[in-house]
């Protein structure tokens, strides 16, 4: 059976691809939710995720928005990428999804090469200004600069 290649790019821009075709998610919040789950291993309570991404609406509306986002993520991703329970959601770190942040983290264990440095194609989620992403963006900038200087 043919296995699709799924790629999630978070540096430089958000992009989700399956077999080279760009998959559009319905909203920026759905994109941010996927990025958050991919970057933060482990289970996250539905209540926390609803508040984090839809904190500007009532709790009931936030939970409904989270429930509405999940089917589009499941459709866009390989089966079993999202692990869900009644109360929590996780991105399976063993899922067959190539993630640029993971690839760069692995590459940073060795001296930099042009190919490895190209994985950092720009800031982390540059179009996302949510509070959770700002410290991560800064941390990645600092780690990458230190890594590149180490190889200079």
Q: Which residue is listed with tokens 């559009």?
A: 24
Q: Are strands 88-91 and 44-45 parallel, antiparallel or unpaired?
A: antiparallel
For residue 88, give the nearest of 56, 140, 40 by alpha carbon: 40
User: Could you give the number of structural domains in the chain?
Assistant: 1
Please write the tens of the pLDDT for every residue from 54-113.
999 999 999 999 999 999 999 999 998 999 999 999 999 999 999 999 999 999 999 999
Residue 132, token pair as written in the block: 């959770």
Residue 4, token pair as written in the block: 């699709």
Is pLDDT larger for residue 3 or for residue 93? 93
Cβ neighbors of 136 (< 8 A, separation 6 or more) are: 39, 124
> Rounded to the nearest 5 degrees, what angle is found at the Cα of 69, between the Cα atoms of 8 and 100?
10
pTM of the model: 0.93
In a domain, 16, yes or no: yes
In a domain, 1, yes or no: no
Query: Which residues form the domain of 32?
Result: 6-151
pLDDT higher than 90, residue 1: no
Q: What percent of the chain has pLDDT over 90?
A: 93
Alpha carbon distance 140, 32 (integer Å): 17
pLDDT of residue 152: 64
Alpha carbon distance 81, 145 (integer Å): 31
* DSSP-based three-state secondary structure for 98: strand
Q: In this structure, what CATH number is given to the domain that contains residue 138? A: 1.10.10.10
Alpha carbon distance 147, 152 (integer Å): 9
pLDDT-based confidence at residue 4 (cuts at 50, 70, 90): low
């Amino acid at each position: 059976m043919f296995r699709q290649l799924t790629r999630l790019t978070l540096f430089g821009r958000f992009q989700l691809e399956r077999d080279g075709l760009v998959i559009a998610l319905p909203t920026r919040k759905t994109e941010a939710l996927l990025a958050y789950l991919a970057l933060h291993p482990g289970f996250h309570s539905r209540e926390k995720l609803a508040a984090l991404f839809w904190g500007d609406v009532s709790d009931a509306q936030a939970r409904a928005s989270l429930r509405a986002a999940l089917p589009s993520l499941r459709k866009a991703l390989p089966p079993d990428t999202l692990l869900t329970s009644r109360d929590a959601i996780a991105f399976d770190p063993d899922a067959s999804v190539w993630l640029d942040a993971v690839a760069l983290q692995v590459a940073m264990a060795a001296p930099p090469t042009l190919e490895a440095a190209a994985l950092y194609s720009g800031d982390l989620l540059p179009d996302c200004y949510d509070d959770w992403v700002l410290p991560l963006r800064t941390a990645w900038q600092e780690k990458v600069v230190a890594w590149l200087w180490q190889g200079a």
